[in-house]
Amino acid sequence: MSRLHLVLVPTHPDGAGGLAFVGSAQRYFGIVLLAYSFALSGVAAERVVYDKVPLSELALPIALYVILAVLVVLAPLAVFAPMLIKTKQRGLLQYGTLGTEYTFAFHKKWIVSSGTAEDSLLGAGDIQSLADLGNSFGFIEKMTALPIKRRTLIHLAPAFLIPMAPLLLTVMPFKEVVKLLYKLVM
């Protein structure tokens, strides 16, 4: 994968050089995570109900499962990280240089010399170009090392939360569990 000659654009609005579509496929692993989460939840429920093990003792294994499962789902995307990091660094350098040159010329034209008699700030494209350049630089700064969006992670969250919710009923009233789940999802 690292030898692919991908043409990544640092200013791509997806924040991943144009590769965010690759990461969106990871949300389909949610069904696999859901199945594993139900199995883990069943084992944990058996331990809590029949073996009288406090739920707090199972917090660490459950947390480790969640971390490991997220890593397993996201690890394949790590092959793109070097390319995305290099694209971001190159973009910051190139757009930083362009920004320096443009803002210097803008400052010289509109601030130092105050424009010429025939130049009018109204209707001039200079300010819009300066704003566009700033937006482009902002896109590059927000570029991520993994081609995955927050909404993909939000799609995966219920695969962990839904199966574990009944476990909370062993230590909390139903109404409190619903409030907690609502806060986590929203």
| Cα 87 → chain centroid | 17
**Helix 30-49 to helix 150-168 angle, to the nearest 10 degrees?**
20
Show me where the domains of the chain are located. 1-186
pTM of full prediction above 0.85 = no
pLDDT tens digits, the chain, 186 residues: what are they? 667 788 999 999 999 999 999 988 898 898 999 999 999 999 999 998 899 998 889 889 988 998 898 889 889 999 999 999 999 999 999 999 999 998 898 888 877 876 555 566 655 677 788 888 889 999 999 999 999 888 888 888 888 888 888 887 887 788 887 887 788 777
Per-residue exposure over 141-150, b if at least 16 CB sit within 10 Å of its own CB, e if not: eebbebbbbe
Contact 158, 30 (CB under 8 A): yes
